[in-house]
């Protein structure tokens, strides 16, 4: 099931308005009782099949719960149920790819975005719409924002990593990493956040290196991921009144193509093998393993969903216990 309707909280049926010719019913419950259990009964008994552009408030007492019901009608121009729509950057591989697939499986319309057009071929075959975008490009970011007006979810997953000893990092390397990893997240939140439908959500991918970084060979990357945490907090306040929620996740070791390249490159600098370095890192993780991209996708879709309707501005660790602050 695609992450729930916009609204969340006790607005149990906000978002049903997007069903063609079917009234939406927003139910606010006060007190103690079976608000969720009564919802379907109330829909069948109260709503009926009113096809007019109604707006009616009525109060009921159900199992000692005061229920205020507001009924409205919104019609889809296509005469069909409107599905949730999500845009996912960095969708050609890794966590972004897993998120796009998970959202598609959950019933969302997904716009998969990446600079690597070829890497998105399978997503296109599975039903995603794809768009080739360099998130470091100002004009392409603006064009993407215009294309996703009225979407529900944004997942900022695009990112790069450069391996350089900290005293050898060049200005060009620094700027490249910051532009892709941090600048793009800031401006996509700025451009797309206000265009998301009320009740929408954004998830930004940070990293455990934003909180704990023992490898100085990725200092520029760690700095960019720390910046994402500040961006997330700022936009969580800026978009709260819409309301659009903004959260971040901080993955630790995740078995992706980027991770494999990282291991190979760092192993060279440390005069070891990728396999030995991987085993050494995982030994420091309390769960003694890395995560799969699909596990990360599960957390991200939770944060997008109404199950997380009271969560915003958070940085969620996903590190197998390695980072717990």
Q: 3-class SS at 180?
A: helix
Rounded to whole angstroms, the Cα distance separating 95 from 205 reads 9
Q: Catalytic pick from 18, 62, 153, 221?
A: 221
| Token output for 3 | 């992450």
Q: Which pairing describes strands 109-114 and 85-89: parallel, antiparallel, or unpaired?
A: parallel
Beta bridge partners of 207: none
Rounded to whole angstroms, the Cα distance separating 242 from 162 reads 37
Rounded to whole angstroms, the Cα distance separating 236 from 312 reads 6
193 contacts 186 by C-beta, under 8 angstroms:
no
192 contacts 151 by C-beta, under 8 angstroms:
yes
Rounded to whole angstroms, the Cα distance separating 50 from 22 reads 7
Whether residue 153 lies in the annotated active site: no
* Calculated CA dihedral for residues 251, 254, 258, 264, nearest 10 degrees: 120
Rounded to whole angstroms, the Cα distance separating 159 from 135 reads 9
Residues taking part in catalysis: 221
């Amino acid at each position: 099931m695609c992450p729930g309707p916009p609204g969340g909280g006790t607005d149990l049926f906000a978002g049903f308005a997007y069903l063609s010719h079917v009234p939406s019913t927003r139910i606010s419950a006060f007190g103690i009782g079976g608000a969720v259990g009564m919802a379907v009964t109330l829909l069948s008994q109260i709503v009926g099949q009113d096809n007019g552009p109604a707006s009616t408030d009525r109060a009921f007492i159900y199992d000692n719960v005061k229920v205020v019901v507001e009924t409205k009608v919104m019609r889809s121009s296509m005469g069909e149920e409107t599905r949730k729509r999500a845009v996912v950057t960095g969708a050609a591989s890794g966590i972004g790819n897993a998120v796009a697939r998970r959202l598609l499986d959950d019933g969302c319309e997904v716009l998969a975005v990446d600079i690597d057009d070829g890497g998105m071929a399978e997503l296109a075959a599975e039903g995603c719409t794809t768009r080739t975008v360099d998130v470091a490009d100002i004009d392409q970011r603006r064009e993407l924002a215009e294309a996703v007006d009225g979407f529900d979810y944004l997942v900022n997953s695009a990112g790069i990593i450069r391996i350089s000893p900290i005293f050898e990092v060049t200005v060009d390397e620094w700027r490249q990493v910051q532009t892709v990893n941090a600048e793009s997240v800031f401006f996509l939140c700025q451009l797309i956040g206000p265009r998301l439908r009320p009740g929408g959500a954004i998830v930004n991918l940070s990293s455990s290196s934003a909180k704990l970084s023992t490898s100085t060979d990725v200092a520029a990357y760690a700095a960019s991921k720390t910046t994402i945490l500040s961006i997330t907090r700022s936009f969580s306040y800026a978009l709260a009144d819409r309301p659009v929620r903004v959260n971040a996740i901080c993955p630790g070791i995740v078995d992706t193509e980027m991770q494999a390249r990282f291991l190979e490159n760092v192993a060279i600098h440390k005069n070891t093998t990728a396999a030995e370095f991987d085993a050494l890192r995982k030994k420091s993780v309390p769960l003694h393993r890395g995560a799969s991209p699909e596990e990360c996708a599960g957390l991200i879709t939770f944060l997008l969903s109404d199950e997380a309707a009271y969560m915003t501005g958070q940085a969620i660790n996903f590190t197998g216990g390695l980072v717990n602050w």
